[in-house]
Amino acid sequence: MNTLERTDHVGTPEQPESNKTGAIKEFGTVSLPYGQAKIFCLPITGQIEGHIVLPSQNKTTKYEHVLPQLVAIEEDPNTAGLLVLLNTVGGDVEAGLAIAELIKSMSKPTVSLVLGGGHSIGVPIAVAARYSFITETATMTIHPIRLAGTVLGVPQTYEYLEKMQDRVIKFVVNNSNIREEVFRGIMFRTGELARDIGTILVGKEAVKVGLIDGVGGLQDAVEKLKQLSCGTQDNQSCGYTQTEPPMVQRPNGQAHHPQQPHIPYEFE
């Protein structure tokens, strides 16, 4: 009798090894073991593809792949949290905002880590997580949005651009510690970029202005995610299920549990 194998990409214990390998190959995703629960690693890399398919030589993140994975993570009881790794040049505004809104609205703990670059529409995705990190050498470019293709030289075009820009600005301000006037100031700054308007923030600068929560790396991001997952799942402490060892019968007839091994989970 033929049996159906699971084909999700959440990395649950029942998932066949071939599916896990396929998830890494096709989507760049993997689930990290964390006690009985798992941390799902979601990379946002290359250019965020919108409604138009980009050339095959471009490295892209496709929103039609990311959105269903986020829904599966939210519904999977074996997933303790989501770790978002960003190294993106930006891309389609609406596709980026769709990913950011879905990450923001998740009940599972979420942590983002900016590696290399989190430019343009990658900024809202970075701040959408409950806590955000940036490495010391990573950069974030904040600049006004732009239109591709045919542009009509009428006032309505500029009004549309202003509305699109306000959507991005409000999302970033509402999900970070940066003030709106500060964000607008660095977005429209002139003289810093040779061929563009805007600002490049490097590591600590993004934290200083309130855009990112802290400077850190992989260890900091994983530890923060474990800390946020404390008490979020039934019968679990910090995402770790501590099972009772088998009962041992003493010579006097009394049953007891052997001493539990020490599990060093300490957080700041």
Domain at 49, CATH number = 3.90.226.10
**For residue 108, which of 23, 10, 219 has the smallest C-alpha distance?**
10
Beta bridge partners of 30: 41
Residue 100 falls inside a structural domain: yes
Contact (CB, 8 A) for 218 and 41: no
Q: Which residues are catalytic?
A: 120, 143
Q: Which residue in 50, 43, 37 sits closest to 76, CA to CA?
A: 37
Determine, yes or no, domain membership for 110. Answer: yes
Q: Looking at residue 18, what is its pLDDT?
A: 55
Q: Report how many domains make up the chain.
A: 1
Specify if 96 maps to a domain. yes
Residue 219: helix, strand or coil by DSSP?
helix
pLDDT of residue 105: 95
Contact 85, 42 (CB under 8 A): yes
Q: What is the pLDDT of residue 10?
A: 44
Assign residue 127 a region: left if phi > 0, alpha if psi is -120 to 50, beta otherwise?
A: alpha
pLDDT, tens only, 36-86: 568 899 999 998 988 888 888 888 889 889 999 999 999 998 899 999 999
Q: What is the mean pLDDT of each run of 10 residues along the chain (268 residues)?
A: 42 51 54 66 91 85 91 92 94 93 95 94 96 96 87 88 93 95 94 87 95 95 90 46 41 42 32
Q: Is 263 inside any structural domain?
A: no
Asked if residue 10 belongs to a domain, the reply is: no
Does residue 197 fall inside a structural domain?
yes
Domain region containing 234: 17-256
Reported residue count of the chain is 268
In a domain, 64, yes or no: yes
For residue 5, is it within any domain? no
- pLDDT at position 222 is 93
